[in-house]
A and B are shown apart, each in its own frame.
Chain A
């Protein structure tokens, strides 16, 4: 049975926290569907499914920390269910699914031993099933305590008493964690009573009166242990969220900062330890590109305008396609070319740190499309809503510190990639053209490349290609 495992969302990641499942047992999934939200040191990542099939069992609870490669769910190939025991096949959910939402025992949430093969729990009688229907209990969320883990009448009643887990939007969940709001206190107004961010804000406003009761901070709440009762809606929220809002927010932000620094530190140290970098740089006349861009933007509404970075990225992507030796990965003492040019873009996050999501197939995008995708990517990176594939697929990365007024940047390669391109600010400088001195906008581009994969000659060809492409911006 195919297992869906914690993906490696970047070479610097070794574990991730399941923040939320967007599917439940019995759901059909297709390759590329977003099935879960995983929190890494850097951001909340929407994780895509890599197979077609039906979710059979969810093996990790929200709040659980799972190492890369650790099991998250079992996905049955489509059609596998015909083999299920006949007495339960008419259930909407797979029989094995009834184990799905089985809460881990308190304290076990961070222990990552792979679970034993799921025994096929079942419903002991049609009466129980009927009862579940009447009480509105989803059998998939019930833990069987009967013989052979069968679900008994008592189990269903217990489940009904506890109530089902409310639906919560990811933003609402995050907001609640940040503001220290207990999701049980929030009335959902979305579809099927889904709790939306708006609802959380309302709850905060409603309880913001001076002296409003704040849930006391649990004594010595260890950071890594999620709320002890996994069936509670707040299970996905780290326990410190119960602390007074300001304290919780501060502590959380600091933790996150520290975790991100550690992640970046590990990756960059590995890069400098393992990769023999060489560096080349050149200054490019940007007059044709800037003139062309300016004329184009004059005809466009603000929403359609391009920024110079879009031209720089497109030129880089095309050059990477023409010099494929720099577009790919160094794996096991050999170079593996990238399947396409997926341009990693270094995006600084407000409040510190950076992420480098990939702009897929950048060399094939029209400039306007590339611009739109770049805006979308930056927006989602800062909002913490990137997809797993965006964090893993980059074949070459670009860093652009021009907005800060930096003139040149000599970057550190993101392993296992083999090149990193840095652009500085487009600045006006005295420039000799055709024997005359004039003032032109220029930009300094630098490539840091892995000497194991290429030699300086290749890097030089690459920079020259970028420069030439930027002289004919209308062809980009």
Chain B
């Protein structure tokens, strides 16, 4: 998977979980769980969407690598 494809999946999933946020305002290196106020259920929804669309298995141990949009992209691109 190219980084661009990964980024699309991430952005789409974020947008679906928190439709009211302005994705352009989310900085690539900012911890989005705080900046867009995702609670643990939102985050679970996010992980579920990303996992389903990318086909990448995501374990709880991987969650720390999903802190920012950039780190999510690295994680996905490195896995698939």
Contact = CB atoms under 8 A, between A and B. Distances in A.
Contacts of B48: 302-303
B44 A307 contact: yes
A443 interface: no
B57 to A, nearest CB: 9
Q: Most chain-A Cβ atoms within 10 A of its Cβ — which of B20, B48, B51, B61?
A: B48
A30 interface: no
A297 B61 CA distance: 10
B30 to A, nearest CB: 16
Given A294-B60, A297-B60, A298-B60, A350 B37 contact: yes
Contacts of B39: 348, 403
A351 interface: yes
B77 interface: no
Nearest to A302: B48
Interface residues of B, number: 16
Interface residues of A, number: 17
A378 B60 contact: no
B51 A302 contact: yes
A348 B61 CA distance: 27
Nearest to B51: A302
Interface string A281-320: 0000000000000100110001101011100000000000
Contacts of A403: 39-40
Nearest to A294: B60
Interface in A212-237: none
Majority secondary structure of chain A interface residues (helix, strand, loop or mixed):
helix
Interface in A338-358: 348, 350-351
Contacts of B44: 302, 305, 307, 375
B18 interface: yes
Interface string B46-64: 0110011000001111000
A140 interface: no
A49 to B, nearest CB: 30
B41 A351 contact: no
B66 to A, nearest CB: 12
A307 B60 contact: no
Nearest to B58: A302
Nearest to B47: A302
Contacts of A305: 44, 60
A6 interface: no
B20 A375 contact: no
B36 to A, nearest CB: 9
A146 to B, nearest CB: 52
A386 interface: no
A62 B25 CA distance: 39
A374 interface: yes
Interface string A81-95: 000000000000000
Contact of A350 (B20, B45, B58): B20
Interface of A: 294, 297-298, 302-303, 305, 307-309, 348, 350-351, 374-375, 378, 402-403
Q: Which 7 A-B pairs have the closest CB atoms?
A: A403-B39, A302-B48, A307-B40, A302-B51, A297-B60, A302-B47, A378-B41
19 contacts: A294-B60, A297-B59, A297-B60, A298-B61, A302-B44, A302-B47, A302-B48, A302-B51, A303-B48, A307-B41, A309-B40, A348-B39, A350-B20, A350-B37, A375-B41, A375-B44, A375-B45, A378-B41, A403-B39
Given A297-B59, A378-B41, 10 more contacts: A298-B59, A302-B47, A302-B48, A302-B51, A303-B48, A305-B44, A307-B41, A309-B41, A403-B39, A403-B40
